[in-house]
Chains A and B, each alone.
Chain A
């Protein structure tokens, strides 16, 4: 009898955890209840460990779990059973209790460093700010966001994976070879091949939301939201004076809800900028966790930095070494061109080889913008990164040569607009564009050639940047 009551009380604990956003469904509750029979519950340390091993998912959440357990064990005995929603009216003994929203809010007010990662309903100190900046999106904006999502290809490029798949030309698929040869009395007549797969690189966005960027904040967040929801492998951060991780906050079907969540959680809207410090925080706290698997990092900022130039330089250099590629997008102060930049990016990445178009549009923009207060390092970092950091090979669609080699042109293939100019305002780099266009217009593909050693036909699709699986897009498109 006592055991049953105990179980029921612990089920309340499960409900409490679910309310806090933990996964405390039957799949976890049952083993947990079994655990309680195996350990001595009077030892609170063991109990705490048991709760942690069953419900913990991330280190950041462990403190919250402890507090939930503490609150559960120390809550007053009389429980409002009706509020518990259990349908029973019996008063239960022992430590069972359902915490009211007030108590939950005590729980949320966690001072753990990563508390902003937790998606817990909380009362915000920036409510006023939210009203001012973010009273819902207009229908127009919603449409824009939806359009962005549709068009979005994550502009982080692709990486060769060690995972192999059928087809391709990397090595013989022995298993299928054997199967096929059985058909011919053991004679290997048909040679099936295996090849590497490519997978999109993870993308990490670092967005400046300081005062000088105020009017772009919304666009930036829309952009982050769109890109985040177009691919699973995007991490988003915002910074002004401090850095906040907003990845989990953005994950939602409803843009308004996602952005409101960000508004509530992030605390330094429209503050001063300390880019160097923010990047350094990123390097220390997050780099190892989110830069794995060859991530591409994009910093979006106007470059008005109030911090130490030296700190910024060191931090950027370090970040550049830790990621596959670092790109910086700078908003020319006072020109209001950032929204166009982002739209251009979306448009370009929707139709062209993503990584390349993104970089080229961005670099050309950066090269043209008015004198920037940012130290020179950032521009160099990104230009350098295009040519030197991509496995020592230029990723330019039209080039594909090693930098410094005779064939290396370092030019880019931009998106042609109706006016026949590149989307970023540059004139196309004649030859490359023509080659690309001719092939596209022909549509039937081109055979052989130095850059096409397999003699495969190139489909127009591959020229649009959706690389044919199994073929290295760079060599395929080499002019």
Chain B
């Protein structure tokens, strides 16, 4: 039941994530630990830019294995997600066989053999034969449609895929599956039932400080502290889109690029566009409100 993976305790998961520059709370470490232990897919939901996709990348690093990523979009189907035949090569091969005088049954066998199979991410993840299972990242599943979700149901419970011409391919070791969703629509309950669910929230000011320090090591302490205070207070405002961690990191890098050692009004006003991305929000922040936030961030 408990898989032979290098991670045995929640503490170890937490430590490993930390050492790979991913600052996770204990609850996220617990969720990851359970996903690895129970071999269940982990469904991560959260606002955009809180580090959902990053979990999968870091996990692949930690497990020292391959990351296979499937970016979902509306209308994604078996051809794009699982497998497709290399039609042009098949056509050419038919010509060759024909000139060699092969009969039809032989031709069909030849044409639909694995050498003409183009493997897409899901098949790659299932077929992987290494000792270590790969990490399969199904990114932004909320962008796909119901049909694709229904297809995933079968895949995620049995980890097998059937190709009519070849047969059923079953994973020897099921991959570690991470699914992310931005919640632009609700994922169907049947899919959720097969997964462990975790909501990644915005971090606290202290956690955010740790994240900034881990991800942008060259940042001065003072600036990192002020940036996390500023962002923390910004998230209390009534904005259309609150800044995520991705925005915090971007902003920090922007400020560094401008040669700032600490927050000051001119630079803040000039770089507001890297924190909020809606015109209305920008209008709201620009000028006095930003100065107020700045004063609170500096004096905190």
Complex CA gap A54/B197 in Å reads 6
A46-85 interface code vs B (CB 8 A; 1 in, 0 out)? 1011101111111100100000000000000000000000
Instruction: Report the separation of the CA atoms of residues A270 and B185 in the bound assembly, to the nearest whole angstrom.
Output: 31
A178 pairs with B34, CB closer than 8 A: no
Which A-B residue pairs are the 9 nearest by beta carbons? A162-B75, A186-B94, A292-B184, A163-B75, A53-B196, A174-B87, A56-B197, A49-B30, A49-B27
The listed residue (B30, B76, B111, B192) touching A46 by CB distance below 8 A is B30
> In the assembled complex, how far is the CB of residue A296 from the closest CB belonging to chain B, in whole angstroms?
15
Asked whether any CB of chain A lies closer than 8 Å to the CB of B91, the reply is: yes
Q: Please provide the chain A residues from 147 to 174 with a CB less than 8 Å away from any CB of chain B in the complex.
A: 161-164, 174
Contact yes or no, B145 A34, CB < 8 A: no
A-B contact pairs, 11 of them (CB 8 A): A31-B38, A35-B34, A39-B30, A49-B26, A59-B183, A62-B199, A162-B73, A163-B145, A177-B87, A186-B97, A293-B74
Q: Given A161-B75, A174-B87, A283-B240, are A34 and B1 neighbors across the interface (CB < 8 Å)? A: yes
Name A's B-contacting residues (CB within 8 A): 23, 27-28, 31, 34-35, 38-39, 45-46, 48-50, 52-59, 62, 161-164, 174-175, 177-178, 181-182, 185-186, 188, 199, 283-284, 288-290, 292-293, 314, 318
In the complex, which residue of chain A has the Cβ closest to the Cβ of B87?
A174
Which B residues fall within an 8 A CB radius of A? 1-2, 10, 26-27, 30-31, 33-35, 37-38, 40, 42, 45, 73-77, 85, 87, 90-91, 94-95, 97-98, 104, 107-108, 111, 142-143, 145, 147, 182-186, 189, 192-193, 196-199, 238, 240, 280
Cα-based distance from A226 to B38 in the complex (angstroms): 43
Instruction: Tell which of A62, A181, A283 touches B94, judged by Cβ atoms closer than 8 Å.
Output: A181
Question: A293, B185: Cβ atoms under 8 Å?
Answer: yes
**Contact call A162/B74, Cβ cutoff below 8 A:** yes
A163 to B10 alpha-carbon distance, docked (Å): 42
Query: Are B91 and A39 within 8 A (Cβ)?
Result: no
Q: How far is the CB of B246 from chain A (nearest CB, A)?
A: 16
CA distance A177 to B94 in the complex (A): 13
Closest residue of chain A to B38 (Cβ to Cβ) is: A31
Q: Chain B residues near A289 (CB, 8 Å)?
A: 183-186
Grouping DSSP codes into helix (H, G, I), strand (E, B) and loop, the A interface class, with mixed when no group exceeds half, is: helix
B103 vs chain A, min Cβ distance (A): 10
- Extra contacts, 18 of them, besides A49-B34, A318-B240 (Cβ < 8 A), are A28-B193, A31-B38, A38-B2, A38-B37, A45-B30, A50-B30, A52-B27, A56-B199, A59-B183, A162-B75, A162-B76, A163-B75, A163-B145, A175-B85, A181-B91, A199-B145, A283-B240, A292-B143
| Complex partner residue of B27 from A31, A45, A55, CB under 8 angstroms | A45
Are B75 and A50 closer than 8 Å at their CB atoms? Answer: no
A54/B30 in contact, CB under 8 A: no
A417 to B198, CA, bound (A): 55
Give the residue among B30, B31, B73 with the most A Cβ atoms within 10 A. Answer: B30
Q: Which residue of B lies closest to A294 (CB)?
A: B74
Contact B26 A31 (CB under 8 A): no
Q: Are B145 and A161 in contact (CB under 8 A)?
A: yes
The residue that A163 contacts in the complex, of B2, B77, B189, with Cβ under 8 A, is: B77
CA distance A174 to B94 in the complex (A): 14
Q: Contact at B98–A186, with CB atoms within 8 Å?
A: yes
Question: In whole angstroms, what is the CA distance A164 to B84 when docked?
Answer: 14
Establish whether residues A186 and B183, one from each chain, have CB atoms under 8 Å apart when the complex forms. Answer: no
Task: Give every chain B residue within 8 A of A283 (Cβ-Cβ).
Answer: 240
Indicate if the CB atoms of A57 and B145 lie closer than 8 Å. no
A199 CA to B148 CA in the complex, in Å?
14
Residue of A nearest to B30 (CB): A49
- Residue contact B147 to A163, C-beta cutoff 8 Å: yes
Checking A50, A182, A185, A318 against B34 with a beta-carbon cut-off of 8 angstroms, the contacting residue is: A50
A285 to B208, CA, bound (A): 24
What residues of A have a CB within 8 angstroms of the CB of B182 in the complex? 288
* A199 to B144 CA separation, bound complex (whole angstroms): 13
Which residue of chain B is the closest to A202 with respect to CB atoms?
B185
- Of A28, A53, A163, A293, which is within 8 A of B198 by CB? A53
Across-interface contacts of B27 in A (CB, < 8 A): 45-46, 48-49, 52
**A183 → B minimal CB distance (Å):** 8
Task: Find out whether the CB atom of A186 lies under 8 angstroms from the CB atom of B73.
Answer: no
Instruction: Let me know if B196 and A54 touch, CB within 8 A.
Output: yes
Asked, given contacts A34-B38, A289-B183, whether A52 binds B85 with beta carbons under 8 Å apart, the answer is no
Interface contact B85-A178, CB-CB below 8 Å: yes
Are B197's CB and A186's CB within 8 A? no
B280–A57 contact, CB under 8 A? no
Assembly CA distance A57 to B197 (angstroms)? 7
Q: Are B142 and A182 in contact (CB under 8 A)?
A: no
**Docked CA distance A39–B45 (Å):** 23
In contact, A182 and B40 (Cβ under 8 angstroms) = no
**A49–B25 CA distance with the chains assembled, in angstroms:** 11
CB-CB under 8 A from B142, the residues of chain A are 292
User: Across the interface, do B37 and A318 meet the contact criterion of CB distance under 8 Å?
Assistant: no
Is B34 a contact of A38 with CB atoms below 8 Å? yes
A48 (CB) vs chain B CBs: closest residue = B27
Question: Across the two chains, which residue of chain B brings its CB closest to A163?
Answer: B75
Shortest Cβ distance from residue A319 to the other chain B in the assembled complex, whole angstroms? 11
